[in-house]
Amino acid sequence: MAINGKRVVATIEGRMTSSRLLGKILMPLAGKPVMAHMIERHRRSKYTDEVVVATTTNAADDPVAALCQEMNCPCFRGSEADVLGRIAEAGKAHSADILVQGMADSPLVDWRIVDRCVELLDKEGADCASNEFGDKKYPDGFDMRAYRFDALKKLEEEHKEEEYREHAGYQLRSDPVHYKRALLPAEGDMLWPELRLTLDTAEDYKLISAVYDALYAKNTDFSAEDVVNFLKQRPDLVSLNSAIVQKKPTP
């Protein structure tokens, strides 16, 4: 746990009122809610000291808090619209030195990618380490972000504009002039940016459910490579959501 004395906290942001797929964070995958899988997969990280679910104060998210209690997972509740404030306060409440930003639309997250980002952030002394930018991108759904918490907190304190608040940490990832970024490029079979593995629509759910049904019973700790190798043999599944255009944050 931790890395070079730095406390690593992973937040998983999610809410029941997601506009494109209501209630997605508690939809079942291989018999367990999406959020339960997210918590379990982040807990496997060799560096993460604590996993914290960052949901909202809305009554609709009470079932999320109940699941966290059942799994003995801390749950921080904050503003629905101010996502940056929510995860920054969650990180502060749990004494983060490094904050890993997990999202409940990525139930196939691989802790091995999490740990590579944490190692890269520490090695480079960066403000942000991610596999989201650059030319060699992972499939959408294996996205990972690790931040130096002081940099994230400074961003939260200095910028009150709506575009900063809604898309937490986006400026740290997208602005190489003011923030030091470290890139984790995709290699080999992971270099498949067209593959959509994020959970935003009914079509996404069909695909991800099929992946869990095929892999989870054999190995609850299946990897990103396992997912890609399986889907290389199943173009019928890949095509389920290939026409969907992912919403991108605006700077």
CATH number for the domain spanning 205: value is 3.90.550.10
For residue 223, what pLDDT is reported? 98
Asked whether residue 164 carries a pLDDT value surpassing 90, the answer given is no
Q: Which residue has the tokens 């699941």?
A: 67
Asked whether residue 250 carries a pLDDT value surpassing 70, the answer given is no
Enclosing H/E stretch for 78: strand 75-78
Q: How far apart are CA 192 and CA 30, in angstroms?
A: 25
Give the model's confidence band at 172: pLDDT under 50 very low, under 70 low, under 90 confident, else very high.
confident
Give the model's confidence band at 251: pLDDT under 50 very low, under 70 low, under 90 confident, else very high.
very low
Q: Lowest-pLDDT range, 110-119, 156-165, 226-235?
A: 156-165
Q: Express each pLDDT in 19-43 by its tens digit.
A: 889 999 999 999 999 999 999 999 9
| Beta partners for residue 182, in sequence order | 129
For residue 47, what pLDDT is reported? 98
Domain count along the chain: 1
Q: Taking the model in full, what pTM does it have?
A: 0.94
Asked whether residue 248 carries a pLDDT value surpassing 80, the answer given is no
Is 64 inside a domain boundary? yes
Is 207 inside a domain boundary? yes
Asked whether residue 249 carries a pLDDT value surpassing 80, the answer given is no
Helix orientation angle between 149-158 and 83-93, rounded to the nearest 10 degrees: 140
Is 244 inside a domain boundary? no
Whether 228 and 189 have beta carbons less than 8 Å apart is answered as yes
For residue 28, what pLDDT is reported? 98
Is 108 inside a domain boundary? yes
Enclosing H/E stretch for 101: strand 98-103
Is 243 inside a domain boundary? no
Collect all residues with Cβ–Cβ distance below 8 Å to 135 and sequence separation of at least 6.
Answer: 185
Asked whether residue 57 carries a pLDDT value surpassing 80, the answer given is yes
Q: How far apart are CA 155 and CA 91, in angstroms?
A: 13
Is 91 inside a domain boundary? yes
Please name which of 118, 83, 108 lies closest in space to residue 9, comparing C-alpha atoms.
118
Enclosing H/E stretch for 90: helix 83-93
Is 249 inside a domain boundary? no
Whether 26 and 35 have beta carbons less than 8 Å apart is answered as yes
Find the domain containing 104 and state its range.
Answer: 8-238
Is 2 inside a domain boundary? no
For residue 247, what pLDDT is reported? 64
